[in-house]
A = this chain, B = another copy of it.
Amino acid sequence: MGRQPSSKPTSFDIAYLAGVSQPTVSRALRGSRSVSLATRQRIEAIARELNYSVDKNASSLRSQRSNTIALLFFEDPTPDESNINPFFLAMLGSITRQCGVRGLDLLISFQKMEYDWHVRYQDSHRADGLILLGYGDYTLYARRLTELVDHGTHFVRWGSAGEDTIGPTVGSDNVGAGRLAGEHLLSIGRRRIAFLGQADEHYPEFADRYRGLCQAMAAVGVALDPALQVDALTAEDAGHTAARTLIARAKPFDAIFAASDLIAIGAMRALAEAGLSVPGDVAIIGFDDIPAASLTTPPLTTIMQDMKGAGQLLVDTLVAQVEDRPLPPCTLGTRLVVRRSTAG
């Protein structure tokens, strides 16, 4: 009925109509116990009728809390922003979900690791905290993390949750997952197992997966030949190159554990080019269970991480930290998904 759409209603408007003061409106809408039920309901009704909604900026300014978190992706090797790591995208789904559950807004941004995240997001009060997602050289990364900690920035990162990590970290049990992969390959009779992926301490997640593989092999008295490990960052091309290198070394192998599905997919391409059959000549197992894993020929056996749990844990851990009651670090389980690339 001809309300002016020109200016949004404020809490003062509600207050006037309800015959109370503005602070009372604020309290009522936030559910304060010091407003009587009758008054609150009256205020809520009026607010609903006027289509009132709290001004986020004013609210955040006054309360010094934005109820927003920033999700920062960064990738070291890929300057091509169109090709986002599919694994992180699965994470995105899980994180948005949990933010929805907790009524948080989610800012997202793709960043170079060099950028000053904290300034842009936390100091400016855009967000209450940061979720950091990305692989990358850990030594460089670690410097940044230390800066963040020193700066008092609230953040959680996804990564290898070892003892010595910098800042709160949530991650899968990569060692256990590596063991899982190794045991599976051993169980189908493979003994000469190759590992494609960085195995040095600059990339702790991959290194942990490698360590798990070694453990599994050691448990049955098989040693892993260092010549069967080839570095590869997480990209299809890297996997392709690494597999070619592996083949060129002419050391016999009958299985590959790839540190990520993308690496595995690239490796399968190289194997096909070399005339090697999967799983006949070489069984192969990946990591992440990205959507494409079930589409390869043959479909790729892989390790699935607990995506749903990951988003939940990341968000919960961050919120806990913002509220100054830090949560103990926590590790997520993984699951083996058997497909035809390791059949028989």
Contacts and interface: CB of A to CB of B under 8 A. Distances in A.
Interface stretch (A80-88, A130-138, A163-171, A172-180): A80-88
A307 interface: yes
A57 interface: yes
A101 B179 CA distance: 44
A42 interface: no
Interface in A299-322: 307-308
B5 A120 contact: no
A335 interface: no
A55 B8 CA distance: 23
Nearest to A88: B89
A21 interface: no
A97 interface: yes
A238 to B, nearest CB: 16
Q: How many copies does the complex hold?
A: 2
Contacts of A295: 265, 292, 295-296
A93 interface: yes
B107 A106 contact: yes
A100 B110 contact: yes
Nearest to A58: B61
B5 A152 contact: yes
A146 interface: no
A57 B54 contact: no
Nearest to A84: B93
B90 A124 contact: no
A51 interface: yes
Shortest 9 CB-CB contacts between residues of A and residues of B = A57-B61, A57-B60, A297-B297, A56-B124, A53-B123, A53-B124, A292-B292, A56-B126, A57-B57
6 contacts: A81-B93, A81-B96, A82-B94, A83-B291, A106-B107, A295-B295
